Amino acid sequence: MRIVADFENYRKRTQKEKEELDIQVKHNTITELLSVIDNFERARSQIKPQNDGEMNIHKSYQGVYKLLVDSLKRLGVSSMRSEGQPFDPKIHEAAMRETTDEHPEGTVLEELVRGYYLGDRVLRHAMVKVSVSPEDTSSIKEESQLSEDK
């Protein structure tokens, strides 16, 4: 019975290791494809077709973009929507701060680079601009002045 139990434990352990390896390979492959998605989105926001020929090209590459996004969705990839949400260091990477009275401190004002999940895991953190209250800005300036005086 002990040999049967040991073998069962071995089987479960190798199955778990195989699943983890599959997830890691999937993670690495999809991470490489995210830059392609980013470039499609940049192109879509920058290109304004002026005539029928340009519109046909625009529709063609948007079709390829849609196929890629649909394929990633089937693999379990979903995008984050960060704007207007509170800053969360588990899923966001603060790239910029902006002083504002319009939003509470620590609110994501703009998503600079979209973040993605793979299932329930963070695939890529969203790079965001975060709001800061005017009072915090003055205390930061005072702290930097003190450190410069030393």
Nearest alpha carbon to residue 99 among 60, 141, 62, 65: 141
Average pLDDT over residues 118-143: 77
Residue-wise pLDDT tens digits, 34-80 = 999 999 888 888 888 888 888 888 888 889 999 999 999 999 999 99
- Which residue did the predictor score with more confidence, 39 or 133? 39
Average pLDDT, stretch 123-133?
A: 91
Which of these, 78, 80, 104, lies nearest to 90 by C-alpha position?
80
Task: Please determine, for residue 146, whether its predicted confidence score (pLDDT) is greater than 80.
Answer: no
pLDDT tens digit sequence for 71-92: 999 999 999 988 989 999 999 9
Give the alpha-carbon dihedral of 114, 68, 44, 84, to 10 degrees. -30
pLDDT above 90 coverage of the chain, percent: 53
Q: Which residues contact 139 (CB under 8 A, 6 or more apart)?
A: none
Taking 50 as the threshold, does the pLDDT of residue 144 lie above it?
A: no
Q: How does DSSP assign 117-150, residue by residue? A: EETTEEEEPEEEEEEE-HHHHHHHHHHHHHHHH-
